[in-house]
Structure 1
Amino acid sequence: MARRPRVGNPELESLDLGYLALFVGMRVNALVLEEVHAAGFPGLREGHGYVVQHLLGGPRSISELADLLEVTQQAASKTVAELRKLGIVEAAPSEDARIRRVRLSERGRAAVDTTRAARATFEARFRRAQGVRAVEETRRVLSAVLESLGGAEAVRRRRVREPR
């Protein structure tokens, strides 16, 4: 019986662009979360960001969030309950008492600011290490690739779904 040759460790530059971009994004997200946790927001996880992005523009009902996230109302309610426990969201006033709306709390806005600051720090680090031109060219190429694959509009409309 012939044995399959053992595959060694891949060279990073031999990975296809999709995986390489995915791995960079995963690593940056993990490092940003570490900084956010250290800054006083323990318990936040990457999946919470998908709800938070939809609350940046103002209050939403659980039904609206479920529709935007393309999940069940129960799933949206569960995530909102987690965020409420962490102090990131709070009940929002509503003219219709039957509709429960939530919004970002002051703590939630502070968490967003902390996350954005951490990402800006990493961006500055990349610019120092790789050079401004290389970072801008990489951004241009990845944007063009995303556009060519039909994924840019989902990003523009904040309709990126959490990976399953």
Structure 2
Amino acid sequence: MTEPAPIAEDLVLLLAALAATTQAEITGALAKAGFGDLRVSDGYLVQHLQQGPVAIGELAGRLGITAQGVSKIVIEMERKGYVSRTPSAGDQRRRLVGLTAKGWDAIYATRQARAHVNHELRAKLGPGARAFLDQVHHLAETTGALAALTERRLRP
């Protein structure tokens, strides 16, 4: 059995800790911007609505959860004002989920918060930032993480 790496050399733990602390910073910035009721998991749904309204069943397939699970999330996010449901033009029984103005505002606030955190992290890395980013990009690419991210296949 392989001995675990010391914490200072354990990439998995270090990356998980960095992800958790940066996510907390972004969540705090969103709360200050008036979006404190958003959960990290809401972002997984929102990422699929940026190209336009999507049916519940299609969202369920993309997210890998049941239509009932998606409906529960959508109802909560609709109550908070981030999404709305409208009947499909071709089939009045089919409901499409789309972003509201508040939903788009939350997306822009998230992007701004992420840009701020990225800037801070790069500043802490100093001149080695580019080389480090290249290495992380290589890891993301060779492990399939980059493809999962860009193809919106990450799961909560």
TM-score (norm 1): 0.85
Partner of residue 20, structure 2 = 26
Mapped to 1, the partners of 2:59 and 2:15 lie a distance apart of 28
From 98, 117, 120, the counterpart of 2:93: 98
Gaps of 5+ in 2: none
82 and 134 in structure 1: CA distance in 2 versus 1, 3 angstrom threshold? farther
- Once the two structures are TM-superposed, the CA of residue 13 in structure 1 deviates from its matched residue by 2.4
> How far is 1:82 from its partner?
1.4
Provide the secondary structure at the position in 2 that maps to 1:57.
Answer: coil
Structure 1 distance, partners of 2:146, 2:8, is 25
Q: Could you say which residue in structure 2 is the equivalent of 1:64?
A: 58
Gaps of 5+ in 1: 1-9
Which 4+ stretches in 1 moved above 3 angstroms?
none
For 1:112, which of 107, 116, 132 is the aligned residue?
Answer: 107
**For this pair of structures, how many residues does the alignment match?**
151
Cα root mean square deviation, aligned: 1.7
TM-score (norm 2): 0.89
* 1:122 partnered with 2:122: no
Percentage of identical aligned residues:
34
Letter in 2 for 1:116: R
- Report the Cα offset of residue 92 of structure 1: 3.7
Give CA deviations for 1:21-43 in whole Å, capped at 9, x if unaligned.
Answer: 12111111111011101111121
Encode CA deviations 1:6-53: one digit per residue, 9 max, x unaligned: xxxx97523x21221121111111110111011111210100000000
Larger CA Rg, structure 1 vs 2 = 1
